[in-house]
Amino acid sequence: MSLTRKQRRIWIVLLAGLGLGTATALTLTAFQDNLVFFLAPSDIASRNPGPERAFRLGGLVESGSLARGETPEGKPEARFRVTDGPVTIPVTYVGVLPDLFREGQGVVALGKLGRDGQFRASEVLARHDETYMPPEVADALKRSGHWDPAKGAPPPAATWNTLAPKPEKQGG
């Protein structure tokens, strides 16, 4: 069996690629649980980070849970609950919330979980979902009752991504 030099190079590249691909896939699978950016509320029971460990909590801001206030020093304070369905965790945060923050929106909060079950966040980041729509389309979906942004993600994109809203007919 004799290979030309070109064929030999092809085989070397193929085998090296196969080896590298397998190694990467195995590494990523092994690290998949450690490469998380945040823990969901239901992960916390099993992972139990402990009261002194700072970690990121990620989930949706529960509908109707947001209360904005002020600390005695006059700084903005927010209380809300982060949920992933089965488990909900109350969060307190002193500071300015990002523009995208609202009920029903994804959120990632860095902080510590106290013994009282309160998560005290030192940083709150908003997560955007992968949908983009003009204001008129969002309004049309809300008006028609197909979507309540505070309750979570919009309906499947195929139902609205070609929707042509009637312009300039507010509250019609």
User: Minimum Å distance from CB 108 to other proteins?
Assistant: 6
Q: Which is nearer to other proteins, 116 or 130 (CB)?
A: 130
- Minimum distance of other proteins from residue 116's CB (angstroms): 26
Q: How far is the CB of 117 from other proteins (least distance, A)?
A: 22
Q: How far is the CB of 74 from other proteins (least distance, A)?
A: 21
Residues 6+ apart with CB under 8 A from 82: 41, 57, 58, 59, 60, 61, 62, 88, 89, 91, 107, 109, 119
C-alpha triplet 89, 95, 100: angle, nearest 5°: 75
Q: Which is nearer to other proteins, 108 or 113 (by Cβ)? A: 108
Comparison of 77 and 136: residue with beta carbon closer to other proteins = 136
Nearer to other proteins, 28 or 67 (CB): 28
State the Cα–Cα distance between residues 97 and 103, nearest whole angstrom.
12
Q: Which residues bind other proteins (CB under 8 A)?
A: 6, 9-10, 13, 16-17, 20-21, 24, 28, 32, 35-38, 40, 58, 97-102, 108, 123-139, 149, 156-158, 160-163
Cβ neighbours of residue 165 under 8 Å, at least 6 residues apart?
Answer: 134, 136, 137, 139, 140
Decide: 75 and 94 in contact? Cβ < 8 Å: yes
How near is the Cβ of 91 to other proteins at its closest, in Å? 15
Instruction: Measure the CA–CA gap between 6 and 76, rounded to whole angstroms.
Output: 68
- Nearer to other proteins by Cβ, of 18 and 67: the residue is 18
CA-nearest of 105, 73, 77 to 91 is 77
